[in-house]
A and B are shown apart, each in its own frame.
Chain A
Amino acid sequence: MAGLELLSDQGYRVDGRRAGELRKIQARMGVFAQADGSAYIEQGNTKALAVVYGPHEIRGSRSRALPDRALVNCQYSSATFSTGERKRRPHGDRKSCEMGLQLRQTFEAAILTQLHPRSQIDIYVQVLQADGGTYAACVNAATLAVLDAGIPMRDFVCACSAGFVDGTALADLSHVEEAAGGPQLALALLPASGQIALLEMDARLHEDHLEWVLEAAAQAARDVHTLLDRVVRQHVHEASILLGD
């Protein structure tokens, strides 16, 4: 991988995209009949599935119930066949726990939990194929699933990853670009107000470049929002046709 050029002289990346271009996004809502809400998203080769149950009564200990708002419980699991080499532990390891915590933090901020006191909302995310940008795909899938379940949210939560190579900020990193070891930023955004629900960055990035990378990620998240909005409207349109409007 040493000689791989992440950004060519003409400005093309490894998979032929431009610096600020997203991968192709395809999504469907309502894939499972059993769950309250479900969604499936494909971002390039990254495939993620999200399922939402709730709001329902708190399972387990009643003492965890919050008197004024709902409890959001997120679990992240990535299939053993999702990465190039077979993974031994799909869930329960530190990285999956951390992802679950981050998803929870993101959605606790976005869902209007005050409307459902003393109840619980479960969000389960499963990654079927991981080709970079897994956190972003999980957040996007979970947003669609929560919307499918009819749980009120402040706004869409759109996420995208961004990196920095050769003085240019790249949006929506693939696995090859992530593994190269450069700085990677994951951003979850509420597009209407521009508020950042979660910000996470790894590897060294000079402070002066932070602004460009943040801006690239924010712009990419807004592009994702346009696409997700279209998906939701399409779904509602189909559902209303079936109901015989």
Chain B
Amino acid sequence: MKETPLSNCERRFLLRAIEEKKRLDGRQTYDYRNIKISFGTDYGCCIVELGKTRVLGQVSCELVAPKLNRATEGILFFNLELSQMAAPSFEPGRQSDLLVKLNRLLERCLRNSKCIDTESLCVVAGEKSRGLNSDPCAYQVWQIRVDLHLLNHDGNIIDAASIAAIVALCHFRRPDVSVQGEEVTLYTPEERDPVALSIHHMPICVSFAFFQQGTYLLVDPNEREERVMDGLLVIAMNKHREICTIQSSGGIMLLKDQVLRCSKIAGVKVAEITELIQKALENDQKVRKEGGKFGFAESIANQRITTFKMEKAPIDTSDVEEKAEEIIAEAEPPSEVVSKPVLWTSGTAQIGEGVENSWGDLEDSEKDEDEGGSDEAVILDKMKMDTGVEVSDIGSQDAPIVLSDSEEEEMIILEPDKNPKKISTQTSAKQEKAPIKKPVKRRKKKRTAN
């Protein structure tokens, strides 16, 4: 399915918001979304959630013959797949550019930085020369394969994928082997505890999105922000502040000091994320040792399965009191409410006035309504008298009053300047309607002229 294009007004809105240093989800410029790491029951399986972006990582291993020119080293293989469930636009044939870019970036970040000691993956060292008589089973190395699957795309795939890859590698345990001369014995997990991989450092990617030709910068763009960005700069660092990879993409023009500034920010962020990863790994280790339940089912059970699931959003309430006081001080005093009850007759009283009928001209539809009843007539007469008195008191108000004995509604005209004060019967009511600009229909109550 082709990607839904982003509308111009949404694009403008996002760019305007970014110019005012606001993000749609309330984050600051350099804030990451919530990172949640959960582990599966097997070693080497983890799910990383960066906001709503979700990546599943799985590590597996196998004994194979080594590459010819690197006979003493193990083999590392990385593969990121953009699953079709991640976004509707991901289809088997359509994603090649993005896929190539992400895969190459991950490979460079994890392989070229030598985060895993490949020499420790060697079981039986091979000889460089390969004659016809050499037995291919004589030399074997571990091939470690890291498979990453994107489960949900909400922006910043590369960060989530790099965290998932390194967490899965740290969590993984390979079976233990022992070598006696030419004999290689592979122990099952029941016989001997599996062994962890030797990891030198943990490279983590941090993405910076640039907007408006490099004027504005955001860390960890979500999907909407990615659509309007000019370009992306990815810096992979480890907690020792060593840069493992830098990659600029998207055709933005950078300046040297921008790159240096980004690398400083990345250093701070990577330290935080590394701490989080360590904690998650320790927690999982503890749970497994104590014999508690672990695995995906356990971590998902904490969240209730509801249609609407909202995470807690932090709200800054530090200056709420001051703001409230300001607002109260500046607000106008509330308008006076006239609430004297007026007793028309025993059993009938009026408190306040009705609100002006805002339904407009509904003459035609209301002509058929029955307002009959002798009580009504009595009340009306009374009210007429009252208004009559009032009208004479308030000379400026020249509202002509239509009095009628008919069962139709009474109409009170409120255009004192235009219409002279008239008291006429129903028959001439219609003629009066013509010059009226704002007729106010009344059903049962009469509006006392103010």
Q: How far is the CA of A201 from the CA of B263 in the complex (A)?
A: 12
Specify the chain A residue showing the minimal Cβ separation from B256. Answer: A214
- Chain B residues 245 to 278 lying within 8 A of chain A, measured CB to CB, are 245-256, 259-260, 263-264, 267
Q: A-B contact count, CB below 8 Å?
A: 95
Within 8 A of A (CB), among B230-255: 233, 237-238, 240-255
Q: Does B285 contact A (CB under 8 A)?
A: no
In the complex, which of the residues B108, B247, B267 contacts A207, with contact meaning CB atoms closer than 8 Å? B267
Bound form: Cα–Cα A211–B237 in Å: 15
Q: How many whole Å from B341's CB to the nearest CB in chain A?
A: 70
Report yes or no: B251 in contact with A206, Cβ–Cβ below 8 A.
Answer: no
Judging by beta carbons under 8 Å apart, are A109 and B247 in contact?
A: no
Q: Contact at B254–A196, with CB atoms within 8 Å?
A: yes
The stretch of A97-105, A142-150, A232-240 in contact with B is A97-105
Q: Does B97 contact A (CB under 8 A)?
A: yes
Whole-angstrom CA separation of A84 from B256 in the bound complex: 35
Taking a contact as CB atoms under 8 Å apart, the answer to whether A207 and B252 are in contact is no
CA distance A190 to B249 in the complex (A): 16
Contact partner of A94 (CB less than 8 A), chosen from B103, B252, B264, is B103
CB contacts (< 8 Å) of B114 on chain A: these are 181, 203-204
The answer to whether A201 and B251 have CB atoms under 8 Å apart is no
- In the assembled complex, the Cα of A208 lies from the Cα of B346 at a distance in Å of 92
CB-CB under 8 A from A197, the residues of chain B are: 251, 253
CB of B102 to closest CB in A, whole Å: 10
Using known A-B contacts A101-B100, A195-B254, determine if residue A207 contacts B242 with beta carbons closer than 8 Å.
yes
Q: A residues within 8 A CB of B103?
A: 94
Kindly supply a per-residue 1/0 record for chain A positions 179-202, scoring 1 wherever the CB is within 8 Å of any chain B CB and 0 otherwise: 001010100001001111111111
Task: Point out which of B114, B240, B241, B248 has the most chain A C-beta atoms below 10 A from its C-beta.
Answer: B248
* B113 nearest CB neighbor, chain A only: A204
Asked whether B95 is an interface residue with its Cβ less than 8 Å from the other chain, the reply is no
Within 8 A of A (CB), among B94-131: 96-97, 100-101, 103-104, 108, 112-114
A106 to B247, CA, bound (A): 12
Main secondary structure on chain B at its contact with chain A? mixed
- Nearest residue (CB) in A for B233 is A199
Pick the contact of A206: B96, B243, B252 (CB < 8 A). B243
The complex places the Cα of A208 from the Cα of B241 at a distance, in Å, of 9
Using a Cβ–Cβ cut-off of 8 Å, how many residues does chain B contribute to the interface with A? 36
For residue B243, which residues in chain A have a CB less than 8 angstroms away from its CB?
183, 201, 204-207, 210
Does A215 interact with chain B (Cβ within 8 Å)?
Answer: yes
Residues of A within 8 A of B254 (CB): 195-196, 199
CB closest residue in chain A, given B98? A101
B121 CB to closest chain A CB (Å) equals 17
Distance, CA A199 to CA B104, complexed state (A): 15
Q: Is A131 an interface residue (CB 8 A)?
A: no
CB B3 to nearest CB in A, in angstroms, measures 13
Contact, CB under 8 Å: A214 / B241: no
Given the contacts A108-B251, A109-B252, A94 and B100 also touching, CB distance less than 8 Å? yes
Q: Judge whether A202 and B101 touch: CB under 8 Å.
A: no
Contacts of A97 in B (CB 8 A): 96, 100
Residues of A within 8 A of B263 (CB): 207, 210
A56 within 8 A of B: no
Q: Which residue of A lies closest to B96 (CB)?
A: A97
Asked if B104 and A201 make an inter-chain contact with CB atoms under 8 angstroms apart, the answer reads: no
From known contacts A199-B248, A204-B113, infer whether A101 and B97 are also in contact, taking CB-CB under 8 Å.
yes
A218 at the interface (CB under 8 A from B): yes
Is A95 an interface position by the 8 A CB rule? yes
| Interchain CB contact under 8 A, B245 and A201 | yes
Residue of A nearest to B253 (CB): A195
**Max chain A Cβ within 10 angstroms of own Cβ: one of B114, B244, B251, B263:** B251
A195 vs B253: C-alpha distance when bound (angstroms) = 5
Q: How far is the CB of A91 from chain B (nearest CB, A)?
A: 13
- Can you pick out 8 interface pairs between chain A and chain B where the beta carbons lie within 8 Å of each other? A108-B251, A196-B248, A197-B251, A197-B253, A201-B247, A203-B114, A204-B238, A205-B243
Name 13 extra pairs, CB < 8 A, besides A181-B114, A195-B253.
A94-B103, A97-B100, A109-B253, A198-B248, A199-B247, A201-B245, A202-B112, A202-B113, A203-B113, A204-B113, A207-B263, A207-B267, A208-B241
Sort A-B residue pairs by CB-CB distance and give the 7 closest, nearest first.
Answer: A195-B253, A201-B246, A109-B251, A196-B254, A98-B104, A199-B248, A204-B242
Q: What residues of chain B have their CB less than 8 Å away from a CB belonging to chain A?
A: 69, 96-97, 100-101, 103-104, 108, 112-114, 233, 237-238, 240-256, 259-260, 263-264, 267
